Structure 1
Amino acid sequence: MNMLLKEIRHSPLLWLLVFVPIVLAVEVLAPSAHTALFVLAVLAIVPLAALLSHATESVAEKTGDAIGGLLNATLGNLTELIIAIAALYAGEYMLVKASIAGVIVANALFMLGASFLLGGLRYRTQEFNRAGGRLHAALLLMATVALLTPAAVANLDLAQGTAVTQKLSTGLAILLIAAYALSLLFSLKTHKDLFAGEDHAEKDEEMLPIGVAVGTLIAVTVLVALVSHIFVGSVQKAGETLGMSPAFVGFIVVALVGGAAEMAVAFSAARKDRLDMSVGIALGSASQIALFVAPVLVLLSYVIGPKPMDLQFWPGAVVMVMIATVTACFITNSGRSAWFIGALLLFIYAIFAMTLYVVPPGAHVAS
């Protein structure tokens, strides 16, 4: 515990942790101050992400980069799952779907691209395990096909179109969860030797003891979930003030802020030439959202939602997810990266963000 306190004292970024109790207090005292809550929530999430980054790296030192990447992706997506469940309960299905598609695209393009860029600025070229990248890219491709199918069925002139789409979405949800479970068995059990990364990391940082690191991971994940819930509750009103559409808020803002913890770890790992971990976090998180979080939300909607949710996304979202997936497949095929590759991925993401901001989908968003 003393080591953790020392880490906070000597890191100016972690001093922003003071905003965590502040935003929680403002949420109780002035719940209608949406703009203030939005700003305070962002300021609180940033240091929590940095602390989660250090704790996850400490755990990864003991478990290896493959398990470390899976652990961080799971903890990061747990926050997004909690946010989505709250939106699901409120019937905000557009926000749920926009955030699902947005997280997939943000991880496959923004997180991966920024990792390549930051690592490439320090190392001329970097290498990563192609097997892991190919596995996650293949899972994303399959999940994208699953997202295309309900949209295609919805365009057919069927007497019971809505019921057919809902039944199809439920069946697809079960298949996607089964595929994700099999991918874990394949990568962590039967063929785990294919996904072992090389140990070429810089180890000049003092890592937290495993017990302190795990305790920190649990505590920070809970705090991130609480603050993120406040963020989502205020971001809609703040978005209206700033001229942002609900689709832009879910696809871009919620995805980036909700994934801040994972991004902090991925960027730090890339700067230390641990690109296996960065790729594992970025694509692993994207595939976990597509194959686990999204299907779970469909099934949960039968229990906690005002009506069942389907997997029918608006056409623009499906196209963006497909482009991001194909790009990830292409990029991870070589097993090597440089800073310019990362810059190109960021440009593609910027094109998507600009398109959603200037031409919001509005009525075209499926509910």
Structure 2
Amino acid sequence: MRKYVSPSLLIIFFILSAAGHYAHWPATLQFIISAVAVIFVAGFLGKATESVAHYAGQRLGGFLNATFGNAAELIIGILLVREGLFDMVKASITGSIIGNLLLVLGLSLFAGGLKHKIQRYNISLAGMNGSLMIVAIIALFVPAIFLQTHVLHEEDRTALSLVVAGILIASYLLWLVFSMITHKDYLADVTEAGKGADNGAAAETDSIALATAGGSHELPPAWSKGKSITYLVLATVMVAFVSEWLVGTLDTFTERFGLSEIFVGAFVVAIVGNAAEHSAAILLAMKNKIGASVEIAVGSSLQIALFVAPVLIFVSHLFGRPMDIVFTVIELAAIGVSVFIAKSITQDGQTNWYEGLLLIAVYAILGVSFYLV
């Protein structure tokens, strides 16, 4: 396995980023140093994720990356909820969902497709991911429609938000049981279990084709299983710190360029917070491990919508600052179109570079629209 980052440069820029934050260096200098640090730390996390995926499998490796990556966003979300910044929280949730579905997945399909003409993964998993994305949309649309059309009373807002949040958390936990335990083989990646229940001989053919493309000649990971897990945890902690330091410098740029809070939350904060997923997903796709890339991108979006957002609803009540699950029309539209195009592209279980380009195009359209708000 080739080296992704120089350990010396990684440590140097992490320390410089910390020094800039705590010594209150000029915001512009902090931003530049922290941005470089994020790149190095994300590369470190990408290497750790790939190493873990080698031992645990592409799906579990991708799930671990998405979980560790979203841990930082959950912590930042809790801090924002405590301060009562609900609009920023919802904007960042929106940005995380559309960023993973459009930007992370799009760049992964594009980069992987340029190197490998056609990449395949379990079609049953693609279908289940699509269904879960639809459930997430329904859970966000229904409260907004029922409350904004005044079919329900305003005092029902809190109760409905708590019930929906509870259902989403239960659905996500049961999905983990379904996908990781009871139907693990059914949803296994075609390159790892080419004889899955739904893939049969076709999946075996795909597995052979993928191995011929270079999968069977892959070098073993540079780290042992224990080191890989340890470095994954360490890299995630570093990502959380560096991302928070970088986000702390954004106010200056927001004021200087007259950016709206919703644009900063949905795009700037989301892109920075997802830097780790960006790096890991793209690197894995270029190594023909598209199953892990899809698990990182789509799995991270599902985790945000079905677990992180509902958890923040309950956390807000613990702080005595109840946050509802009602998103704005703009946010719902952005999430809706993202789910629609992502489901359309991923439902056949195979990808190419042009499909990645289409996802990036939709992300650009939404980015310009949010910028002009």
Normalising by structure 1, what TM-score? Answer: 0.90
Pairs within 5 Å for 1:1-367: 7=3, 11=5, 15-30=9-24, 33-157=26-150, 160-161=153-154, 163-197=155-189, 198-199=191-192, 200=211, 201=215, 203-204=218-219, 206-304=221-319, 307-358=321-372, 360=373
- Flag the 1:322–1:52 CA change in 2: closer, same or farther, 3 A: same
CA RMSD of aligned residues (A): 2.0
Per-residue deviation, residues 212-232 of structure 1 (Å, max 9, x unmatched):
111111112112112222223
- Flag the 1:14–1:129 CA change in 2: closer, same or farther, 3 A: farther
Report percent identity of matched pairs.
37
Look up the SS of the partner of 2:330 in the other structure: helix
Contact 1:14–1:50 (Cα < 8 Å) also in 2 = no
Unaligned runs of 5+ in 1: 361-367
Look up the SS of the partner of 2:185 in the other structure: helix
Look up the SS of the partner of 2:149 in the other structure: coil
Contact 1:35–1:234 (Cα < 8 Å) also in 2 = yes
- Distance in 1, matches of 2:276 and 2:285, equals 15
Per-residue deviation, residues 226-267 of structure 1 (Å, max 9, x unmatched):
222222332233222232211111111111111111111110
- Flag the 1:144–1:216 CA change in 2: closer, same or farther, 3 A: same
For 2:242, the aligned partner's letter is V
Contact 1:236–1:249 (Cα < 8 Å) also in 2 = no
Per-residue deviation, residues 65-95 of structure 1 (Å, max 9, x unmatched):
1111111110000111111112112221111
For 2:355, the aligned partner's letter is I
Deviation of the 1:194 alpha carbon: 1.4
Look up the SS of the partner of 1:195 in the other structure: coil
- Distance in 2, matches of 1:82 and 1:260, equals 16
Contact 1:132–1:280 (Cα < 8 Å) also in 2 = no
Per-residue deviation, residues 323-346 of structure 1 (Å, max 9, x unmatched):
111212211221111111111110
- Distance in 2, matches of 1:118 and 1:266, equals 10
- Distance in 2, matches of 1:297 and 1:101, equals 14
For 1:269, the aligned partner's letter is L
- Distance in 2, matches of 1:327 and 1:157, equals 31
Deviation of the 1:16 alpha carbon: 4.7
For 1:217, the aligned partner's letter is L
- Distance in 2, matches of 1:203 and 1:244, equals 45
Aligned residues: 350
Look up the SS of the partner of 1:194 in the other structure: coil
Deviation of the 1:158 alpha carbon: 6.6
Deviation of the 1:167 alpha carbon: 1.4
Contact 1:83–1:232 (Cα < 8 Å) also in 2 = no
Per-residue deviation, residues 163-217 of structure 1 (Å, max 9, x unmatched):
3122111111000000001111111111111111114435136431112111111
- Flag the 1:36–1:164 CA change in 2: closer, same or farther, 3 A: farther
Look up the SS of the partner of 1:121 in the other structure: helix
- Distance in 1, matches of 2:3 and 2:346, equals 35
For 1:331, the aligned partner's letter is I
Look up the SS of the partner of 2:242 in the other structure: helix
- Distance in 2, matches of 1:91 and 1:35, equals 27
Identify which range, 109-118 or 239-248, moves more after superposition: 239-248
Unaligned runs of 5+ in 2: 193-210
- Flag the 1:132–1:158 CA change in 2: closer, same or farther, 3 A: closer
- Flag the 1:310–1:14 CA change in 2: closer, same or farther, 3 A: farther
Look up the SS of the partner of 2:248 in the other structure: helix
- Flag the 1:20–1:276 CA change in 2: closer, same or farther, 3 A: same
